[in-house]
Structure 1
Amino acid sequence: MVCYWSELARDIVLPPVGTATTLVRAVRASPAYVSDQLLAALDKRLGADFELLDFDCGHMVPQAKPTEVAAVIRSRLGPR
């Protein structure tokens, strides 16, 4: 699990091809932290390995939507 804000401070750094990636976007964050450029680059590079989830909240997603964030993490971790 990684939270990153690199797109705020430098050029976009993308995960390697084949890396399953879920980006959780806070749709009420202002200014928007996730750019259209980042989304397009992730989609182009990762294809089906890229998942975008939009949450109706501000930028503090884990605090605003703890149940939903926990479900995303559990789905990525898979069965034990």
Structure 2
Amino acid sequence: MGRTTKPEYVEPLLDALKILGEASEDMLLEKTYSSMRERLYPDDFSVLPNGEPRWRNQMLHMLDGLIESGKIIKKNGLLTLDEI
């Protein structure tokens, strides 16, 4: 069995935020999940010791990386794309 790798979440996260324009973290994760759920592996749905599904944990790690790299801007609790 496989599972979705962290880098595979990057494009769907960016695409979802482009569609939304501006979103809370939860809103972005739900939009991204809805666009990816058919592509996720059974292992992606396993629940981690912290109580969250693996897909959400992986997606959050990639979102944090996109924020740190400046591709996504987080301001006042909302996320937007860097339009540069």
TM range (shorter): under 0.3
- Report which of the two has the higher share of helix: 2
Higher RCO (CA < 8 A, seq sep 6+): 2
- Report which of the two has the higher share of strand: 1
